[in-house]
Structure 1
Amino acid sequence: MALPIISAEERLKERHSAKIGLIGFPGTGKTTQLKTLPADKTLFVDLEAGDLSVKDWSGDTVRPRSWSEFRDLVVFLAGPLPTATLDQSFSEAHYRHVCEKYGDPRQLAKYEYYFVDSLTVLSRLCFAWCKTQPQAYSEKNGKPDTRGAYGLLGQEMIAALTHLQHVRDKHVIYVAILEEKMDDFNRRYYQLQLEGSKTALELPGILDEVVTLAILKADDGSPYRAFITRADNPYGYPSKDRSGRLDAIEEPHLGRLIQKCLGLAPQL
């Protein structure tokens, strides 16, 4: 058996995709960015049940109501994890079970974009589930163990998001709320609004791009929306550009941003 080397020529011919974290304060228009994607090629994973701003959007939607439902959706969208044992999430057995429930996975072929709104709500669903698990109770006295619940939360969230990350032929966009904090020295900083700290700390390392949708002020004082894309931005917003193709400030159009990340001519 030969070493399965992928040549540069083969790699360049592969279909590439972007995994993006779209974050911003409430009301900046994060969910509305769904309208910049082709409706016939996008699956909207609506965790917030807050789709009023996109009620006229004509694409397909799924609405997981629990952490278990979201895990089932992840394995259906991404397929089985080869290293998972039969009793673990995302295993071959889990995948077969979900396919029996949801049907032929070939129905996903028409989608090029998965838009997950939002990680903030997802972390709450996951934490609610974690608090019911054995790890959330002390082995000594059976009382609730908050540290155990938060530890499980980080493991579960990162495992699910990392698994969905490996869908090579789909663009995956995770929406999350941004919040402002003050440290012990009264200095302002910004972070993702998520239950626990592990996911917020590790997520930027998982994703290709992290963009903050912000409302900035022009030279004349008028406000305008923009994507902040680089880690060294003067506003202190969490951002990251792994592609190296983005300007520090980009127009707030997710569809064109993805095309630019991939080095493609705008199609939207």
Structure 2
Amino acid sequence: MALPIITADERLREKQGVKLVLLGKSGIGKTSQLKTLPEASTLFVDLEAGDLAVKDWRGDCVRPSTWPEFRDLVVFLAGPNPALPVDAPFSEAHYRHVCERYGDPGQLAKYDTYFVDSITVLARLALIWAKTQPQAYSERTGKPDTRGAYGLLGSELIGALTHLQHARGKHVVFVAILDERLDDFNRKVFVPQIEGAKTA
């Protein structure tokens, strides 16, 4: 079997996708940027349930309401990672299971862009789920373990967002709220509003 080298011409012919994060203070118009994207080829992943600002935008949307629903959506949108074990999220087995529920992934071909609003809400969904998992409880006492829950939140969130970034040939826009805070030197700084950031 020959080494599967991709030539420069083949690589340059591949459809490229931009991955970006749109950050801003609450109410500044981040979600409204959806109106700048083509309605026919953009899928709006609405986690905020706050689409009032874009109610006249006539593109398609999905509204996952739990962390497992979002993970299923991610593997459907981005495809599987064949390197993962069968019982892992985003594995071939996970992808096949989700395709049985959602149908032919060919239906996604019309979308060039996924607009995910927002990582802020997504982290809250992930934390709600993480607090119900075995890692969120002390093995010794059986009591809730906040560090375990936040550790699981971090690994799950990074895993899902990284996987979605690898949606080949798709543009992916992540939206997040920025909070204004004072640092240790009393200087004004802006940080993403994400669960767990204060415990990092």
Matches within 5 A, 1:253-268: none
What is the one-letter code of the residue matched to 1:110? Answer: K
1:18 aligns with 2:18: yes
SS in 1 for 2:45: strand
Unaligned 5+ residue runs, structure 1? 202-268
The total of aligned residue pairs comes to 199
Unaligned 5+ residue runs, structure 2? none
What is the one-letter code of the residue matched to 1:11? Answer: R
CA RMSD of aligned residues (A): 1.2
Distance in 2 (alpha carbons) for counterparts of 1:197 and 1:165: 21
Distance in 2 (alpha carbons) for counterparts of 1:191 and 1:69: 27
Give the CA deviation at 1:197.
Answer: 2.8
Which residue of structure 2 aligns with residue 119 of structure 1? 119
1:153 aligns with 2:160: no
What is the one-letter code of the residue matched to 1:51? Answer: D
Which residue of structure 2 aligns with residue 96 of structure 1? 96
Matches within 5 A, 1:60-75: 60-75=60-75
Distance in 1 (alpha carbons) for counterparts of 2:11 and 2:191: 35
1:186 aligns with 2:173: no
Distance in 1 (alpha carbons) for counterparts of 2:158 and 2:189: 23
Distance in 2 (alpha carbons) for counterparts of 1:135 and 1:183: 31
Distance in 2 (alpha carbons) for counterparts of 1:7 and 1:79: 24
Cα deviation per residue 1:65-113 (whole Å; 9 max; x = unaligned)? Answer: 0000000000000111111111111111111111111111100000001
Distance in 2 (alpha carbons) for counterparts of 1:160 and 1:83: 15
Distance in 2 (alpha carbons) for counterparts of 1:81 and 1:20: 21
Distance in 2 (alpha carbons) for counterparts of 1:127 and 1:5: 42
What is the one-letter code of the residue matched to 1:185? Answer: F
Matches within 5 A, 1:190-201: 190-197=190-197
Which residue of structure 2 aligns with residue 39 of structure 1? 39
Structure 1 consecutive aligned stretches of length 4 or more whose deviation exceeds 2 Å? none
Distance in 2 (alpha carbons) for counterparts of 1:99 and 1:162: 20
What is the one-letter code of the residue matched to 2:140? Answer: K
Distance in 2 (alpha carbons) for counterparts of 1:166 and 1:185: 38
Taking structure 1 as the reference length, what is the TM-score of the superposition?
0.73
Distance in 1 (alpha carbons) for counterparts of 2:186 and 2:103: 53
Cα deviation per residue 1:10-69 (whole Å; 9 max; x = unaligned)? Answer: 211111110010010011110010010000000000000000011011000100000000
Distance in 2 (alpha carbons) for counterparts of 1:147 and 1:140: 14
What is the one-letter code of the residue matched to 2:142? Answer: G
Give the CA deviation at 1:185.
Answer: 1.8
Which residue of structure 2 aligns with residue 86 of structure 1? 86
Which residue of structure 2 aligns with residue 170 of structure 1? 170
Distance in 2 (alpha carbons) for counterparts of 1:143 and 1:161: 30
